[in-house]
Structure formats: structure tokens, C-alpha cells
């Protein structure tokens, strides 16, 4: 039997970004031919922070289009919107009843997002429980994610262990699947590329001009104030992105040129912009095609939910049974 894979991305912006693509979607693509995959647009996660209800339908539609344009194929993988499979939230309630609040309060994403909000919601605290349910409802053993999600995967493993110890062997302990781009840095010089940090990201639907502009104003090696200053590529966030895009021989040329101050930051950024634009061209074309055939996208989602729900229901029935909740 093929190993089961689950992963999800929030529809929390107008477009997914390069971090989502290189850190998560590339991992999904690497597994979709050889594994039994379910990939979701996790809309219930996106409402754990303030959001605009009027924009949500378009953001969900865009996220699923971008999944498909990046190569996730509904003939190979089950593609769903999380809220179309309500078993996820029902399982989250059951799992939440075995996990201590103190554990959730320690998780870095919660602490980080809490610091940016006046009154963090119960949903924000509970986010990792819902994420554990998203994975465990399909008994997935592999989860392609970026580095920032590792604490949440560790939490999901702990949920599985705790549940199995209390109610008998039910869930596999899921493992993260990381790509080379597991931590795409922010264009602002510190932290990761993130939808909620303006100026930090390149969106997958950015035009070639926008990509050139965003890179041109991006922060680089702080030691390189003037064109003639020698740089240190390993300290530079732009070089870190180059390493994910640029062929090895060209990369060595850029690193040497940077150290010798033969290549300026602007030139280095322009080379990277062209690499990214070339990589995203087929994506952009496919995205435009899908937007002009919205029924194909909706059909894929309908079919996805139809295939996912029986799998989710079977796990939920089993869980309710071992918890003594299925009978009177």
C-alpha cells in the first residue's frame, strides 16, 4: 500500500508566495506520483487571525488555482478545501480534549502571532490541534512543509502518541518532508518570507516587473554598503534564494564575483529575477488558463471532497468508537 501524504496552505493572501512554493508545494510535487496524496486549502486556519470575509472566496479560489498551476494534479492527488470536509473540525475537538493548553501556549507560531495582536483568539491557540486533525484524519505519515512548521508536526506526533497511549494504537506518527527550500528568507533581511509581512515576499502571481522591483529594493549583505565593498554570499538572503534557483556553475561565479566585488548587488539581483521569472512562466500561463475555466477548478474540488470524505469519516468513526462515543 502507498504511504499517505497530507499537506495544506492557508488562503490568507491574494496569492501564494515563493516560500510556500519552494518550501511546501515542491515537496508535494515530489511525492504526488509515488504516494497517496491529499492536499488542502486550509480555510479554517486562515480565520484564526483577523481577515476580510468579502475577500475569502476569491482567496480560496486563487489558492486552489495556484496549487493546480504549480502542478498539483487532481487526477493524481485529492485536492480539497478544508471546510468541505467537516470531519477535520470534529476530530480537532476530540483531539483537543486530550492536549494540555500549556503545551499549545509554548508553540512559537502562537507566541509570534499573539505578540502581533491585541486579543488573540481561541482559534489561534487551537490552530496546531486542527492541523494535527487535518493530518491524522487521513492517517497520513508524511507531511511536506516548510521549516517553520516543524514544531507543529512535532505537536501532531505528540497528539498521535498520546491518543494511542490512551485509547489504543490508532494513528501513525506523521513525519515532516522537507525540501531544499524549506526556509526561504524574507526580502527584508531577517526572518522568513511570509504573507503577513509586507515587503518580505515575492508572490507567485507577481509580474516580471514586480519581481525585478521587489528584488531591486530587497535588503542584502549588510557589510556591502558600496559597490566596491567585498560581500559574503553566505550572509546574504538574496544568495540564499540564488542557491535554490541558479545552476551550480553560475552560482560559483556569482559567489566569487560577490567576494571580489566584481558583481554588484543590483546585477546579482537582476540575474536572480530572470531565473525566478523563467521558472514561474509556465505557472503564470497555466494560472491564466485555469482562471478562464473556473468550472474545471470547481469540478476538481467537488471530486476531491467526494473522495476525501469517506476516508475522513472512516477514521472519525473509529476514533468515536475507541473513545466510547459511538453508542448509548
Find the DSSP H helices in the chain. 18-19, 26-31, 43-46, 56-70, 87-96, 101-105, 108-115, 122-136, 150-167, 208-216, 237-245, 248-259, 265-291, 294-322
Largest CA distance in the chain: 79
195 is catalytic: yes
- Residue 35 near residue 76, CB atoms below 8 Å: no
- Residues 164/167/169/170 CA torsion (nearest 10 deg): -90
148 binds ligand AQP (CB under 6 A): yes
- 61: its cell numbers: 479560489
Stretch in the footprint of ligand AQP (CB under 6 A) among 8-16, 75-83, 234-242, 300-308: 8-16
In the set 26, 60, 192, 214, the catalytic residue is 192
26 binds ligand AQP (CB under 6 A): no
Q: Does 146 participate in binding ligand AQP (rule CB under 6 A)?
A: yes
**Shortest approach of ligand AQP to residue 257 CB, angstroms?**
26
271 contributes a contact to ligand AQP by CB under 6 A: no
Query: Toward ligand AQP, which CB reaches closer, 211 or 316?
Result: 211
Among 48, 77, 82, 149, indicate the residue that binds ligand AQP (CB under 6 A): 149
Grid coordinates belonging to 90: 470534529
Give the residue, chosen from 34, 106, 196, 210, that forms a contact with ligand AQP under the rule CB under 6 A: 196
47 lines the binding site for ligand AQP (CB under 6 A): no
- Contact call for residue 193 and ligand AQP (CB under 6 A): yes
Which grid coordinates belong to 163?
491518543
DSSP code per residue over 53-113: TTTHHHHHHHHHHHHHHHT--TTTSEEEEGGGSTHHHHHHHHHHTTS-HHHHHT-HHHHHH
State the nearest-atom distance from the C-beta of 264 to ligand AQP, in Å.
Answer: 26
The yes or no reply on residue 184 touching ligand AQP (CB under 6 A) is: yes
Q: Is 269 a catalytic residue?
A: no
Three-state secondary-structure class, residue 47: coil
Applying CB under 6 A, which of residues 73, 90, 183, 232 lies at the interface with ligand AQP?
183
Catalytic position from the list 26, 60, 113, 214: 113
Q: Which is nearer to ligand AQP, 74 or 146 (CB)?
A: 146
- Of all residues in this chain, which one has the CB nearest to ligand AQP in the complex? 23
Q: Which residues contact 273 (CB under 8 A, 6 or more apart)?
A: 208, 211, 212, 215
- The answer to whether 242 and 251 have CB atoms below 8 angstroms apart is yes
Beta pairing partners, 6? 38
Binding segment for ligand AQP (CB under 6 A), chosen from 155-163, 178-186, 203-211, 251-259, is 178-186
Please identify which of the residues 60, 195, 214, 269 carries the catalytic annotation.
Answer: 195
**Among the listed residues 4, 19, 87, 254, the single contact to ligand AQP using CB under 6 A:** 19
The residue to which cell 554588484 is assigned: 264
176 lines the binding site for ligand AQP (CB under 6 A): no
Site membership for ligand AQP, residue 236 (CB under 6 A) = no
Q: Which residues bind ligand AQP (CB under 6 A)?
A: 9-10, 12, 19-20, 23-24, 145-146, 148-149, 181-184, 192-196
**Residues identified as active-site:** 113, 192, 195
Amino acid at each position: 500500500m502507498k504511504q499517505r501524504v497530507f499537506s495544506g496552505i492557508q488562503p490568507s493572501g491574494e496569492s501564494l508566495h515563493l516560500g510556500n512554493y519552494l518550501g511546501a508545494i515542491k515537496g508535494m510535487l515530489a511525492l504526488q506520483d509515488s504516494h497517496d496524496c491529499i492536499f488542502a486549502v486550509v480555510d479554517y486556519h486562515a480565520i484564526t487571525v483577523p481577515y476580510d470575509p468579502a475577500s475569502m472566496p476569491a482567496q480560496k479560489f486563487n489558492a486552489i488555482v495556484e496549487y493546480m498551476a504549480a502542478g498539483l494534479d487532481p487526477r493524481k492527488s485529492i485536492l480539497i478545501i478544508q471546510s468541505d470536509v467537516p470531519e477535520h473540525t470534529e476530530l480537532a475537538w476530540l483531539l483537543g480534549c486530550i492536549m494540555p493548553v500549556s503545551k499549545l501556549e509554548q508553540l512559537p507560531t502562537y507566541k509570534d502571532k499573539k505578540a502581533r495582536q491585541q486579543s488573540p483568539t481561541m482559534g489561534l491557540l487551537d490552530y496546531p490541534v486542527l492541523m494535527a486533525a487535518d493530518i491524522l484524519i487521513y492517517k497520513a505519515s508524511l507531511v511536506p512543509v516548510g521549516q517553520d512548521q516543524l514544531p507543529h508536526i512535532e505537536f501532531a506526533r505528540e497528539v498521535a502518541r498520546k491518543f494511542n497511549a490512551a485509547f489504543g494504537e490508532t494513528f501513525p506518527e506523521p513525519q515532516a518532508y522537507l525540501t531544499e527550500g524549506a526556509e526561504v528568507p524574507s526580502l527584508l533581511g531577517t526572518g522568513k518570507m511570509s504573507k503577513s509581512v509586507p515587503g518580505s515576499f515575492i508572490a507567485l502571481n507577481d509580474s516580471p516587473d514586480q519581481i525585478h522591483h521587489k528584488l531591486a529594493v530587497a535588503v542584502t549583505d549588510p557589510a556591502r554598503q558600496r559597490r566596491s565593498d567585498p560581500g559574503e554570499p553566505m550572509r546574504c538572503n538574496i544568495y540564499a534564494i540564488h542557491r535554490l534557483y541558479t545552476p551550480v556553475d553560475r552560482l560559483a561565479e556569482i559567489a566569487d564575483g560577490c567576494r571580489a566585488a566584481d558583481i554588484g548587488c543590483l546585477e546579482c539581483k537582476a540575474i536572480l529575477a530572470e531565473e525566478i521569472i523563467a521558472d514561474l512562466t509556465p505557472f503564470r500561463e497555466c494560472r491564466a488558463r485555469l482562471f478562464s475555466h473556473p468550472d474545471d477548478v470547481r469540478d476538481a474540488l467537488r471530486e476531491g471532497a467526494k473522495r476525501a470524505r469517506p476516508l475522513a469519516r472512516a477514521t472519525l468513526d473509529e476514533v468515536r468508537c475507541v473513545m466510547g462515543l459511538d453508542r448509548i
